[in-house]
Amino acid sequence: MNKKNYLKKLSESNKPYIIYRSKKGFDLYTDFSKKKILTNKNVNNFINQITKNKSKKKNTDLFIGFFGYEILNHLIDVKVKKKNNLKFPKGIFYKPETKIELSNKLYYKSKNKIRSYKFFKININKNTYAKIFNKFKKKIKSGETYQIKICTKYKNKSKIDALDFFCKLTKSNLASESFMIKDKNYSIISCSPENLITKKNDFISTKPIAGTLKKNKKLNEIKALNFFKKNIKETKEHNMIVDMERSDLSKICIPKSVKIIKKKTVEEYKDLYHYVSLICGKLKKKVSSLDIIKAMMPGGSVIGCPKISTLNLLNAQEKEGRNIYTGSFGYIKFNGDMRFNIIIRSILNFQNYSEISVASGVVIDSNVNHEFNENFIKAKALIDLYK
């Protein structure tokens, strides 16, 4: 099979497909025999039923898709009031019948021009951001939260070629949890760097990211690491998130099995450096897929901590729905193994609108100008695709 031509033909057809970053390159999933649109009423049963399928040990014995932010709140009994949004589904999962391994380099160039009718508009300007920032600073001082992520959203009216965007993104900003979904009425393109769950047999790991530094010509990974280690704000933010992820893992893992395997390393991306750790544990017996998802999602590094009280503060403040942002994309295999990322650095294109959501962490030492600007740095690699 000529994979280059196959991908081209697939993209130019109306056939839905998914591409997900793998260790060797990318995995392409298509020929979906089932499509499950999730609701608050069916999500628990859907997750529980996956591992009850009779597996023939095929590489397509899985469901792949995403949980949106709202449905993850529902799973842990956190209420989200009705907000302005695109009325996009709360989650969608697919059962593929075909899986094809692709190389690291994806080749595709669209014949169609991007139809972008307006420049991106931000839903929270700097003055509004400052008011929210100061409000949350008071909540931190009163002990209601220790760290909280303020979300800003960039939107425009546009019709895009998802594969063209994704190929450009993988060349300029390849990330370990990159993925794309192309369906008939929507597409998602993501260069997410953050793994939330990797489960194989009885072992589970998570890779929290907390700490961002804008790149410049004078910086390298060693200098970035020194910056993070010496920066009190970044260190506090990272330590809080690592402690929370350890706590989340401890709910489902054997006591004393949860360990930090890699502590405070640096990863490099197109416009920034990230401060990263890796935590692993051994699962208790009879822990279900639903137990794991409820313990780990939504990912703490994109919410703040403590998780529940911080979610309540965010949900009371935010006027727009997050849709896919800070949800999770990945798969659950019939044998119970799973892999999920955190949906950040992503474009949702639906009903000819694109939205890019980003967030920065506020702690007691945070500076309002720095955090507002950090949000733009995180969105820039995606916004650049529309030029």
125 pLDDT more than 80: yes
- Give the model's pLDDT for residue 1: 61
Domains contained in the chain, number? 1
Residues 6+ apart with CB under 8 A from 40: 71, 74, 90
- Give the model's pLDDT for residue 83: 79
Q: pLDDT per residue over 159-191, tens digit each?
A: 889 999 999 999 888 899 999 999 999 999 999
Of 188, 211, 207, 164, the closest CA to residue 386 belongs to 164
Q: Percentage of the chain with pLDDT > 90?
A: 71
29 vs 24, more confident: 29
105 pLDDT more than 90: no
Average pLDDT for residues 340-351, to the nearest whole number?
96
94 vs 111, more confident: 94
Task: Please report which confidence band the pLDDT of residue 210 belongs to, taking 50, 70 and 90 as the band edges.
Answer: confident
Of 345, 327, 329, 297, the closest CA to residue 65 belongs to 329
136 vs 3, more confident: 136
Q: Does 116 map to a domain? A: no
Which residue range forms the structural domain that includes residue 179?
3-110+121-386
Q: pLDDT per residue over 247-274, tens digit each?
A: 999 999 999 999 999 889 999 888 889 9
Q: Does 85 map to a domain? A: yes
CA-to-CA separations, 80 to 74, 297, 319, in angstroms, rounded: 8, 15, 11
Q: Does 115 map to a domain? A: no
Q: Does 251 map to a domain? A: yes
Q: Does 304 map to a domain? A: yes
Q: Does 68 map to a domain? A: yes
Amino acid letter at 328?
S
- Give the model's pLDDT for residue 56: 73
pTM attached to this predicted model: 0.94
CB 379 within 8 A of CB 358: yes
Q: Does 64 map to a domain? A: yes
104 vs 189, more confident: 189
Q: Does 31 map to a domain? A: yes
Of 186, 192, 116, the closest CA to residue 349 belongs to 186
Q: Percentage of the chain with pLDDT > 70?
A: 97
- Annotate 17-86 with three-state secondary structure: EEEEECCCCEEEEEEEEEEEECCCCCHHHHHHHHCCCCCCCCCCCEEEEEECHHHHHHHCCCCCCCCECC
Residue with tokens 């509004």, as numbered in its chain = 128
Task: Please report which confidence band the pLDDT of residue 78 belongs to, taking 50, 70 and 90 as the band edges.
Answer: very high
Phi/psi at 75 (nearest 5 deg)?
Answer: -60, -30
- Give the model's pLDDT for residue 353: 92
Average pLDDT for residues 6-30, to the nearest whole number?
92
Q: pLDDT per residue over 282-339, tens digit each?
A: 999 999 999 999 999 999 888 989 999 999 999 999 999 999 999 999 999 999 999 9
- Give the model's pLDDT for residue 118: 64
Positive or negative, the Cα torsion across 102, 106, 110, 111? Answer: negative
117 pLDDT more than 80: no
Considering the chain, what is the average pLDDT of its residues? 92
- Give the model's pLDDT for residue 214: 86
CATH of the domain at 176: 3.60.120.10
- Give the model's pLDDT for residue 113: 66
